[in-house]
Structure 1
Amino acid sequence: MPLTFLTADRAFDEAADDIALPHHDENRWRRPYRPGPWRVGAAALLLLLASYMLVAAVIVALAGALSATITAAVSAAVVIALALRVLRMGTWVSAQGLRQVSLLTTRTVPWQRLSRVRTVQQPVKWLGLPRTVQGQALVASPDGKEPLRPLLTDHNADFLGRPGAFDRAADAVEGWAAHYGR
């Protein structure tokens, strides 16, 4: 079973530099970059923890404690769901607009409501932690509304140590904004 949310559309990687929107189905939500090693590593650690929890549930079930078995199995299911959500986090684009997926919330803004999308130099969070460092961020400004949190930064879990990947992803999102925005 292919897990399409784990990888970016291959067309983004294989497209020539002069093609701004390498896509076939513009209405499908897609992440214009691959998840970074920090994000995949965190999800892998969560899945490893869930596997230990499931083994513990089996051991507890063999011991005959039904309520503890259910607690361990439900806890493992929550950790698995958390790992999948960590993998889905990021910026997604389609013809409808721009979607920011975070751990607990998802925010979608139509392209027509964004006044501009651009890359700026500013203090950014390092791996989403409270510590900030000077870096690049892709920011979007909606019409007359509070600015969105940075769409992408060069120090987040997808792009830390991968400046070329950040540049390609920022160019792809800016290309979608130029094509579908005003």
Structure 2
Amino acid sequence: MPLPFLTADRAHDDDAAAGADPLGYEDQDRWRRPYRPGPWRVGGAALLLLLASYVLFSAMIIAMAGSLPAAGVCGAFGALMIVTAVRLVRSGVEVSPQGLRRIGLLRSTTVRWRDIAAIRTTQQPVRWLGLPRTVQGQAVLLQRVPGGASDTLFTSHDADFLGQAESFERAADAIEGWAATHH
């Protein structure tokens, strides 16, 4: 079974940055993340899954005690925690020949390549792990064709790249490479 998140960090290869698949077996039209999920994102999801296991175990104990409505509520809460953990790991930026997709915890947005004016890396104050605290860092910005404000795709201090400057540079180069070849 192919695990695409394990081979996603091939952005330093010229073929992978340009969107070509050197392995030859992957579908060229599928959405793919050009970088691996970071340790903060994976660690947070792992903690959430650990808590979900305790909640589901509690639901089983409550059901055996005879309180089925309370067990149902507890089980539903555990299932919600599992869905949130999966969505947390899945969030990030994906690319395909059709365009660029930014997946967030609650919503996703897709922009076609022809609607993108520029993708650039800039030095600016960025939020540390998505919290209100800002630090000086780098951000990859998306500028749409009709004008308007730039959208931040990812930063050097988010859950995927905190403490991993080289991974951030490879991911930024990969996204810019996709934009250059599909523009």
Instruction: Say yes or no: TM over 0.5.
Output: yes
Determine if the alignment matches structure 1 residue 105 to structure 2 residue 107: yes
Q: Deviations over 1:45-97 (max 9, x none)?
A: 10001000010001001100010010011100000000000001101100010
How far residue 2 of structure 1 moved from its aligned partner, in angstroms, is 5.7
Match of 1:75 among 74, 77, 100: 77
How far residue 147 of structure 1 moved from its aligned partner, in angstroms, is 3.1
How far residue 144 of structure 1 moved from its aligned partner, in angstroms, is 1.7
Q: Distance in 1 between matches of 2:77 and 2:62?
A: 14
| Aligned residue number for residue 57 of structure 1 | 59
Gapped regions of structure 2 (runs ≥ 5): 22-26
TM-score, reference length from structure 1: 0.91
Root-mean-square deviation (Å): 1.8
| Aligned residue number for residue 119 of structure 1 | 121
Distance change in 2, residues 1:19/1:103 (3 Å) = closer
Task: Specify the SS of the correspondent of 2:106.
Answer: coil
Q: Distance in 1 between matches of 2:52 and 2:43?
A: 14
How far residue 150 of structure 1 moved from its aligned partner, in angstroms, is 1.0
Q: Is the 8 A contact 1:119 1:137 kept in 2?
A: yes
TM-score, reference length from structure 2: 0.91
Q: Is the 8 A contact 1:30 1:94 kept in 2?
A: yes
1:155 counterpart letter in structure 2? H
Gapped regions of structure 1 (runs ≥ 5): none
Match of 1:130 among 113, 129, 132: 132
Q: Distance in 2 between matches of 1:60 and 1:79?
A: 18
Aligned residues: 178
2:10 counterpart letter in structure 1? D
2:100 counterpart letter in structure 1? L
Distance change in 2, residues 1:50/1:152 (3 Å) = same
Task: Specify the SS of the correspondent of 2:151.
Answer: coil
More off after superposition, 142-151 vs 111-120: 142-151
Q: Is the 8 A contact 1:12 1:22 kept in 2?
A: no
| Aligned residue number for residue 20 of structure 1 | 17
